[in-house]
Chain A
């Protein structure tokens, strides 16, 4: 009875799934910077060292090329590594391992090896960590063929998507937003902490979730901005604008059908992304709607990070990272 009343932070829900998979399958292990004794700087591995020991919860030196490459090798040999890239921003120093090896070895070997690896990585700003530690980079990873890309927005989704990520035989990039994890030093908004079943369950990739149903305007978003969009929808409901919020949950594969169904229903689309505006999620979703639902489409707006390095100063970061008010303005613009 108490189980159903338990609510978990997103970090604890992720750890729940990882621990379950590690108990079920001894080939699963976790490797990354500060994941053992520290428990992950964003609590992604809290408590796992105590249960599984240092052979399966491994701290690694600061060499992303080295340890991500080791993860790819382990995966090709039949293990199921979860490798943490502490900040998505650091992908640059290991891009060859990620893009040319993790993503492509299945193809390059003519399908004779699989790479059942999960690359977990922290994304997002809102805490004044400047241009090299605040990016979301959804578009960068989703652009590169060969990797599935997962972006949870709640504890419930985070657990089900993690179970699926570890069980998937293809490489998965699991991008968790720092602000959603439930850290004491970076309090989460209301929303990501949800009831989470004790038992395991799988959320399939490529299934977006309509987090709020509405008839007037479709907001398509992911990650932290799901919660900002829901806040905006509350405000707009008071004005008589009924907003539907679609949480993509995975970028690769992309649930085109759910997006198009919603756009065909409302005819008005706002795409919200914390990643940069150009060549990213907002452009992709807008193009999807234009190609497939042009006749139903009355108006489109994009709300995203402008194409500038993310500022360190709090007022400047708040200016560039879209808040609920920015979403409200965009919805009003398409609803007119």
Chain B
């Protein structure tokens, strides 16, 4: 049985509750569902169905990547500065140069050597 057939009730539910999605195939036949749910409730319904079909999400044959329509982070990842951090150290966590982070945060940073715990930095993806 293909992953699409295994999770068909989840996809039917998505059609019913107004979630739009696209399907693609990931690692070794993994079904990748990328979509937007109209509300947090609709998204939760789909996760509940996922848990019912695949208890504790253990099989690894589905990636359910849903956002809700009102999530407004625009795809930018935010990193919260911790004490002891510097841009080089943060960059290493993402495999990028410190300068890339500096370039994306010039609006809030005045000096690349001065960042403070709790500050939210935009990380380019």
Co-assembled chains A and B: no
User: Which B residues contact A (CB, under 8 angstroms)?
Assistant: none
User: Which A residues contact B (CB, under 8 angstroms)?
Assistant: none
